[in-house]
Amino acid sequence: MLYPWQLDDWRRINAERERLPNAWLFTGAAGTGKLAFAEHMARSLLCDRPDAALNACGECEACRWFANSGHPDFRRLTPAGEEAEEKTARRLPLIRIEAVREMIEFAHLTAHRNGRRVILVEPAEALNPAAANALLKILEEPPRDVLFLLVAHAPQRLLPTIRSRCRPFQLSAPTSAEALDWLRGQGVADAENELAYHGGAPLFDHDPALAALRRQFLDALEQTTFASVLQVAEVIDKNKLSLAQALEWLQQWLLDLAGAGLAASVRYFPDRRAKLDALAARADMMELMRCQQEAVRLAPYGQHTLNVRLQLEALLMGYLKIFAPARPA
Ligand SMILES: [Zn+2]
């Protein structure tokens, strides 16, 4: 499937298909559909009867395999195991050498079908060093009729030698109008603010309950009273939210607060601009920095602190100090 903002990219890449590379490296902003694009390409390359625009037909044997159990000439390398499933994991889950070895064996097999095999690596920066070196080796001497599709959110973190073996393809991000249209089509409430919050990248995990908690948390930060912050610390705790989640929201809020005060720019919460401006006008920037530092200090404990409520209460008490009347010098 292509997203509506990818149609030009699709035409552009198809013009390159007269001379297929050994590997494409897809780059572009996170949350804008790079993986979907790479999968669309994989399906198209393996389909028996692609249409005039080179989209996979969706009906042939190859397409059915793709949709069901998996195509025998297709492999996907992604971080595996428990680490990858833990969305809140503190470290980036890695693609391990064993997985790359298995993929290399596959690459040297004879293809089951029309002679081409496709290997998708996503995200390529998740290769651990040994795995990256193994991939590099096969990119340097690619077996016949094997095409690699690498997807990278942070291509600067790839080995330069891997990058240089791939043909780069930069994918377009949607304009904000395109992203908003799409989000509204998905029935996302408050699409404009959600999009701003997610930095203009529309493919975030939309969780209405979490969005509601975020609003509640921000409301409390706006109110700047003991009662409001104590109450919201309790809500966060009762809903079993991690300290890490609250820290993320607080840090974004503090950045916007500093932005409103210093540079007159607000990034995450433009819908709360008026309130941010008013708060920034009575903020002590030194206390604000202190609060930011405290949030940074707590970050390593974000996933496994024993008492979220206590930590959060202490942190938010520090937040309130930003707005306390100036102390005598
Ligand atoms: Zn097909």
CATH number at residue 10: 3.40.50.300
Tell me the mean pLDDT in the region 96-115.
Answer: 84
Q: How far is the CA of 113 from the centre of ligand 1 (A)?
A: 13
Compute how many other C-beta atoms are within 10 angstroms of the C-beta atom of residue 300.
11
- 3-class DSSP assignment, residue 278: helix
| 142 and 97 both lie in a single domain | yes
Is 268 inside a domain boundary? Answer: yes
Look at residues 120, 152, 173 and tell me which one is the last residue of a structural domain: 173
Contact 86, 95 (CB under 8 A): no
- Cβ neighbors of 67 (< 8 A, separation 6 or more) are 58
Q: How far is the CA of 69 from the centre of ligand 1 (A)?
A: 15
Task: Check residue 15 and give its pLDDT.
Answer: 94
Cα–chain center distance at 173? 13
Q: How far is the CA of 40 from the centre of ligand 1 (A)?
A: 11
Q: How far is the CA of 259 from the centre of ligand 1 (A)?
A: 51
Question: Residue 146 is which amino acid?
Answer: V
Task: Check residue 312 and give its pLDDT.
Answer: 94
Q: How far is the CA of 169 from the centre of ligand 1 (A)?
A: 24
Task: Check residue 161 and give its pLDDT.
Answer: 95
Task: Check residue 115 and give its pLDDT.
Answer: 79
Is the pLDDT at 326 greater than 60? The verdict is no
Q: Distance (Å, rounded) from C-alpha 86 to C-alpha 289?
A: 31
| 169 and 271 both lie in a single domain | no
| 146 and 262 both lie in a single domain | no
Q: How confident is the model at residue 324 (pLDDT cuts 50, 70, 90)?
A: low
| 108 and 28 both lie in a single domain | yes
Contact 323, 224 (CB under 8 A): yes
Q: How far is the CA of 9 from the centre of ligand 1 (A)?
A: 21
Is 11 inside a domain boundary? Answer: yes
Q: How confident is the model at residue 69 (pLDDT cuts 50, 70, 90)?
A: confident
Q: How far is the CA of 210 from the centre of ligand 1 (A)?
A: 39
Read off the tokens for 172: 């377009």
Look at residues 173, 198, 222 and tell me which one is the last residue of a structural domain: 173
| 32 and 150 both lie in a single domain | yes
Q: Distance (Å, rounded) from C-alpha 219 to C-alpha 213?
A: 10
State what percent of residues in the chain have pLDDT above 90.
Answer: 69
Q: How far is the CA of 56 from the centre of ligand 1 (A)?
A: 5
Q: How confident is the model at residue 90 (pLDDT cuts 50, 70, 90)?
A: very low
Q: How far is the CA of 130 from the centre of ligand 1 (A)?
A: 36
| 165 and 211 both lie in a single domain | no
Q: How confident is the model at residue 85 (pLDDT cuts 50, 70, 90)?
A: very low
Is 326 inside a domain boundary? Answer: no
| 41 and 121 both lie in a single domain | yes
Tell me the mean pLDDT in the region 179-207.
Answer: 90
Taking only the tens place, the pLDDT of each residue in 285-302 is: 999 999 999 999 988 888
Q: How far is the CA of 55 from the centre of ligand 1 (A)?
A: 8
Task: Check residue 205 and give its pLDDT.
Answer: 81
Q: Distance (Å, rounded) from C-alpha 31 to C-alpha 34?
A: 8
Task: Check residue 306 and give its pLDDT.
Answer: 72
Q: How far is the CA of 12 from the centre of ligand 1 (A)?
A: 21
- 3-class DSSP assignment, residue 28: coil
Q: How far is the CA of 78 from the centre of ligand 1 (A)?
A: 24
| 236 and 138 both lie in a single domain | no
- Cβ neighbors of 91 (< 8 A, separation 6 or more) are 83
Q: How far is the CA of 47 from the centre of ligand 1 (A)?
A: 4
Contact 21, 167 (CB under 8 A): yes
Number of structural domains the chain divides into: 2
Q: How far is the CA of 116 from the centre of ligand 1 (A)?
A: 14
Residues, beta carbon < 5 Å, ion ligand 1: 47, 56-57, 60, 63
Q: How far is the CA of 306 from the centre of ligand 1 (A)?
A: 52
Q: How far is the CA of 60 from the centre of ligand 1 (A)?
A: 4
Q: Distance (Å, rounded) from C-alpha 110 to C-alpha 131?
A: 23
Taking only the tens place, the pLDDT of each residue in 249-268 is: 999 999 999 999 887 788 89
CATH of the domain at 269: 1.20.272
Domain that holds residue 104: 4-173
Q: How far is the CA of 200 from the centre of ligand 1 (A)?
A: 33
| 157 and 218 both lie in a single domain | no
Task: Check residue 264 and give its pLDDT.
Answer: 75
Q: How confident is the model at residue 112 (pLDDT cuts 50, 70, 90)?
A: confident
Mean pLDDT in the chain?
90
Among all chains, which residue has been given the structure tokens 């595996």?
A: 80
Q: Give the residue with greater pLDDT, 206 vs 74.
A: 74
